[in-house]
Amino acid sequence: MIYKLSTEQKKGIVDQNFFEKEVDGGVLTFSIKNIWQSGYLTFESECVPYLDLKNENGLPVFATFQVIDLITKKGCGHQFEFFSSFTAKEEEVVQKLFAEDGFRALERQGWRQTAIKTWFYGPLVLRSMTG
């Protein structure tokens, strides 16, 4: 069966996109957290999956499901988190690139996306789409 999982409340979906770039023999890493107004995911399961629909601790999406589709709508903001030794100037350059043309601008400057993690926060709604 195919199931659809969504958050009950708005702004309950967060993705964290991780980037790295080799600079002067070292590697700089950072992430951008995107907060989404709404969205849902679909997945397949042979039986009704057990999920704590109260979801008080957040649900790591890709660690929990083989996701068929993840749809997010209308970003509500983003936050940068710099993990290695960035100077204030380097942080400013990254933020300016992202503001100008998002992920494409970062990739043009040699930043490589290494991972995406997605969480659903707050109460969940689970619906069967088939069967």
Q: In this predicted model, what pLDDT tens digit does every residue of 38-47 receive, in sequence order?
A: 999 999 999 8
pLDDT band at 16 (very low <50, low <70, confident <90, very high): very high
Please state the pTM of the whole predicted model: 0.81
pLDDT band at 58 (very low <50, low <70, confident <90, very high): very high
Instruction: Specify the 3-state DSSP secondary structure of 126.
Output: strand
Beta bridge mates, 17: 32, 116
Q: DSSP readout, 36-77?
A: EEEEEEEEE-SSPPP--TT-TT-EEHHHH--EEEEEEEEEEE
Q: How many whole angstroms separate alpha carbon 109 and alpha carbon 97?
A: 9
pLDDT greater than 70 at residue 131: no
The total of other beta-carbon atoms located within 10 Å of residue 41's CB is: 21
Q: What is the pLDDT of residues 59-101, one digit of tens each?
A: 999 999 999 999 998 878 889 999 878 889 989 999 999 999 8
Average pLDDT in the 11-39 region? 90
Q: How many whole angstroms separate alpha carbon 60 and alpha carbon 14?
A: 10
Q: Are 123 and 53 within 8 A, CB to CB?
A: yes
